[in-house]
Amino acid sequence: MWTEYITATSTEQAVRMLAEKGTKARIVAGATDLILELERGVRTGTETLIDITRIPGIDRITMDEDGVIHLGPLVTHNHVAASKLLREKAYPLARASWEVGAPQIRNRGTVAGNLITGSPANDTITPLMALDAWLTLQSSRGERKVKLQDFYTGVRKTVLAADEMLVDIAFKGLDATQHGTFVKVALRRAQAISVINLAIILTLDSATVKQAVITLGAVAPKIIHATEAESYLSGKTLTDEVIAKAAELTRDASRPIDDIRSSADYRREMVKVFTARGLKSLRDGQEQAGMPDDPITLMGTSHSTGANGFSGAHHTEGSVIQTRINGRDYTFTSGFEKTLLRLLREDAGLIGTKEGCAEGECGACTVFLDGTAVMACMVPAPRAHGAEIVTVEGLANGEQLHPVQEAFIQDGAVQCGYCSPGFLMSAAKLLEERSKPTKNEIEQAITGNLCRCTGYYKIVQAIEDASNKLET
Ligand SMILES: Cc1cc2nc3c(=O)[nH]c(=O)nc-3n(C[C@H](O)[C@H](O)[C@H](O)COP(=O)(O)OP(=O)(O)OC[C@H]3O[C@@H](n4cnc5c(N)ncnc54)[C@H](O)[C@@H]3O)c2cc1C
Ligand code: FES
Ligand code: FES
């Protein structure tokens, strides 16, 4: 898929490499979009990947003295969803990130990558557009700031030049008079692309709307503002009639297409319905309902970025990948052009980790990478260099099975068993994160794992039983 893989240790190095390699190189962050684009042949001509995941300090969310919030390029969706600061100052973004994929995808997928892929259905563009965000792009030619509004030139097309790296996402945090929400409509609750999504931010003077911002995703080639609805709401109180009219105006702003997920008519109607619901939830102070206060991330308690002490790497055909899997050192001289899943199965002979879809959808390939649950099919193999990996083979402590393994056996939470390694890994990471999870938290933890034959009742029961066993 790639012929050269450079793991950068500083932004300056990444930018220098981009300048040197030209259009044949691309930055890779979480790889959850890029691997699929390369495998499906959507992105041709890419030979060199420049991995930025080992650059220290660029995964931070901060607020400066002017109340401007900054997201580094390695801030993942789970960082955003778990951030108390963003929950308070940018709830629409926190909600959108929490709605992305499943925990294993959110642990690798970055907001920066989401913005750059630039699909009009991508979830974080809509709230960041409503927040009037701006981006800082760095190249060896210097730095420039671009408003997110001006970043897109069409479907998946941006003004990012081949030699530029996105180094900062910034926006003003919401103040006490501002309230916002994000609504996603999809064909199911996890691992689903938006049929439509929308963000609403209202500035209120007691019950009167001083200013309204409504942005819409997946209803036009780019994220759009419902400008007539925004103007209409200004100076109004949110009565049922006003909300109904604003919802109609928002619907009229949308220009959706028919596609495999929905007809254009359905999309238009959903824009109306969910704009009304969003406005009502804001009026009633219920906009945060449905999102847990402390979402399950499967990040683990001892995760690291893998940046500490990492001195950089340059992989081409035949280069060595040195890694630690299940507490044992491995040296590979093959497989650098593969995914981590294939490296584990084909080169390490660790076939417990399964391939169900190879597209990040099924969770059968879940492993721990530097302490965090990820989909191994979405990780480039060279990312394993200098990393610590745990697969299902490493879950037991010698002869002593992990409590989730015992519970799966006792409860008969297995039929064909193909999905089981992935479920076991998610469950084990959940219990590390929360020793006594609620049923809802168990369900959140396994949203990225599909089982086609056991059914989920026994699996959930087994995880509950394992947690009870850990308690005693
Ligand atoms: C199973 C699955 C479910 C998903 N569900 C959703 C969903 O519900 N909602 C949603 O919006 N998306 C979803 N996605 C898409 C994807 O996870 C997100 O878009 C993610 O945020 C991409 O981030 P990344 O770090 O993985 O990007 P990467 O794949 O690493 O990169 C994406 C693009 O951005 C470029 N890039 C990344 N960082 C930089 C940078 N700092 N500077 C310059 N270029 C950069 C890369 O070169 C590439 O072109 C899903 C993907 C999968 C596989
Ligand atoms: S999620 Fe990796 S194989 Fe399905
Ligand atoms: S046990 Fe067969 S897919 Fe889950």
Residue-wise pLDDT tens digits, 324-334: 999 999 999 99
Contacts of 35 (CB under 8 A, 6+ apart): 1, 339, 377, 378, 380
Residue 276, in any domain of the structure: yes
What sign for the dihedral angle of Cα 456, 457, 462, 467?
Answer: positive
262, 283, 304 — which closes off a domain? 283
Which ligand 3 atom is the nearest neighbour of the CA of 417? Answer: 1
Residue 449 Cα, ligand 3 centroid: separation in angstroms? 10
Point out the domain boundary residue: 250, 283, 316.
Answer: 283
Q: Hunting for tokens 């940046």 — which residue is that?
A: 307
- Residue 89: C-alpha distances to residues 82, 123, 334 (Å): 13, 18, 47
Sign (positive or negative) of CA dihedral 122, 368, 9, 345: negative
User: For ligand 1, atom 12, which residue shows the shortest CA distance?
Assistant: 122
Mutational test site, ligand 3, from 355, 446, 452, max ligand atoms within 8 Å of CB = 452
Q: Which two tokens stand for residue 429?
A: 């990471």
Q: Is 364 in the pocket of ligand 3 (CB under 6 A)?
A: no
What rounded mean pLDDT belongs to the chain?
Answer: 96
Nearest to 219 by CA among 175, 166, 259, 177: 259
Ligand 2 nearest-atom number relative to CA 378: 2
| CA 112 to ligand 1 centroid distance, Å | 7
277 and 401 belong to one structural domain: no
Give the ligand at the shortest distance from the Cα of 217: 1
Q: Would you say the CB of residue 452 lies under 6 angstroms from ligand 3?
A: yes
User: pLDDT, tens digit, for every residue of 158-198?
Assistant: 999 999 999 999 999 999 999 999 999 999 889 999 999 99
Which pLDDT score, from 0 to 100, does residue 1 have? 86
Q: In the structure, what pLDDT confidence band is assigned to residue 363 with cuts at 50, 70 and 90? A: very high
Domain boundary among 258, 283, 308: 283
User: How much is the pLDDT for 43?
Assistant: 87
**Overall size of the chain counted in residues:** 472
Query: Please, which residues bridge with residue 199 across strands?
Result: 182, 215
Q: Is residue 192 part of a domain?
A: yes
Mutate to test the pocket of ligand 2, among 362, 426, 447 (most ligand atoms within 8 A of CB): 362
Please give the distance, rounded to the nearest whole angstrom, from the Cα atom of residue 453 to the centre of ligand 3.
5
CB atoms within 10 A of CB 460: 19
Question: Is residue 156 domain-resident?
Answer: yes
- The pLDDT of residue 307: 75
Three-point CA angle 425, 428, 434, nearest 5°: 140
**Ligand 1 atom closest to Cα of residue 448:** 1
Residue 109 CA: which ligand is closest? 1
Amino acid in position 87? R
CA of 324 to the centre of ligand 3 (A): 29
Residue 84 scores a pLDDT above 70:
yes
Please provide the distance, in angstroms rounded to a whole number, between the alpha carbons at the two ends of the chain. Answer: 48
- Could you give the CA distance from residue 397 to residue 220 in angstroms, rounded to a whole number? 53
Helices 403-411 and 420-433: crossing angle in degrees, nearest 10, is 130
- Kindly give the distance from the C-alpha atom of residue 440 to the centroid of ligand 2, in angstroms, as a whole number: 23
Residues 279, 422 within the same domain:
no
CB 431 near ligand 2, within 6 Å: no
Say how far apart CA 250 and CA 236 lie, in whole Å: 16
Q: How far apart are alpha carbons 422 and 394 in whole angstroms?
A: 13
Q: How many CB atoms lie within 10 A of CB 345?
A: 20
Q: Which ligand is nearest to the CA of 412?
A: 3
In the block, residue with structure tokens 């919802």: 247
Cβ–Cβ < 8 Å for 431, 401: no
**pLDDT bucket at 471, cuts 50 / 70 / 90:** low
**What CATH number does residue 204 fall under?**
3.30.465.10
- Is 106 within the bounds of a domain? yes
Residue percentage of the chain with pLDDT more than 90: 94
**Ligand nearest the Cα atom of residue 340:** 2
> Is 422 a pocket residue for ligand 2 (Cβ < 6 Å)?
no
pLDDT in tens, 116-147: 999 999 999 999 999 999 999 999 999 999 99
On whether residue 389 sits in a domain, the answer given is no
419 C-beta closer than 6 A to ligand 3:
yes
How many distinct structural domains can be found in the chain?
A: 2
Half-sphere exposure of 200 (CA within 13 A, CB side): 29
**Mean pLDDT throughout 80-91?**
98
pLDDT of residue 189: 87
Asked whether residue 427 is assigned to any structural domain, the reply reads: yes
pTM above 0.85, yes or no: yes
Q: Is the pLDDT of residue 3 over 80?
A: yes
Q: Is the CB of 360 under 6 A from ligand 2?
A: yes
Residue whose CB lies within 8 A of the most ligand 1 atoms, among 105, 128, 158, for a mutation test: 105
- C-beta of 201 in contact with ligand 2 (< 6 A): no
117 and 254 belong to one structural domain:
yes
pLDDT grade for 272, boundaries at 50, 70 and 90: very high
In a domain, 172, yes or no: yes
Domain that holds residue 402: 395-472
* CA distances (Å), origin 344, targets 38, 246, 262, 289, 352: 20, 53, 38, 41, 9
Q: At 302, is the pLDDT very low, low, confident or very high (cuts 50, 70, 90)? A: confident
CA of 422 to the centre of ligand 2 (A): 9
In SS3 terms, the chain reads as: CCCEEEECCCHHHHHHHHHHHHHHEEEECCCCCHHHHHHCCCCCCCCEEEECCCCCCCCCEEECCCCEEEECCCCEHHHHHHCHHHHHHCHHHHHHHHCCCCHHHHCCCEHHHHHHHCCCCCCCHHHHHHCCCEEEEEECCEEEEEEHHHHEEECCEECCCCCCEEEEEEEECCCCCEEEEEEEECCCCCCCCCCEEEEEEEEEECCEEEEEEEEEECCCCCCEECHHHHHHHCCCECCHHHHHHHHHHHHHHCCCCCECCECHHHHHHHHHHHHHHHHHHHHCCCCCCCCCCCCCCCCCCCCCCCCCCCCCEEEECCCCEEEEECCEEEEECCCCCCEHHHHHHHHCCCCCCCCCCCCCCCCCCEEEECCEEEEHHHCEHHHHCCCEEECHHHCCECCECCHHHHHHHHHCCCCCCCCHHHHHHHHHHHHHHCCCCCHHHHHHHCCCCCCCCCCHHHHHHHHHHHHHHHHC
| Distance in Å, CA 380 to ligand 1 centroid | 14
Does pLDDT of 306 surpass 80?
A: no
Beta bridge partners of 373: 368
CATH of the domain at 414: 1.10.150.120
Query: Taking 70 as the threshold, does the pLDDT of residue 207 lie above it?
Result: yes
Cα(364) to ligand 3 centroid in Å equals 10
Q: How far apart are CA 71 and CA 55, in angstroms?
A: 14
* Cα 21 to Cα 48: distance, rounded to the nearest angstrom: 8
- Distance between Cα 341 and ligand 3 center (Å): 19
In this structure, what are the phi and psi dihedrals at residue 140, rounded to the nearest 5 degrees?
Answer: -70, -10
Please report whether residue 7 resides in a domain: no
Query: Which of 355, 379, 450 to probe ligand 2 with, by most ligand atoms within 8 A of CB?
Result: 355
Give residue-wise pLDDT tens across range 389-428.
Answer: 999 999 999 999 999 999 999 999 999 999 999 999 999 9
Tens digit of each residue's pLDDT (9 = 90 or more) over 419-457: 999 999 999 999 999 989 999 999 999 999 999 998 899
Q: Which ligand 1 atom is nearest residue 122's CA?
A: 11
pLDDT of residue 472: 66
Tell me the ligand closest to 414's alpha carbon: 3
Across 2-6, 71-75, 305-309, 357-361, least confident range: 305-309
Instruction: Give residues (CB < 6 A) around ligand 1.
Output: 26-34, 36, 73, 100-101, 105, 108-110, 112-114, 116-117, 122-123, 165-166, 191, 193, 360-361, 378
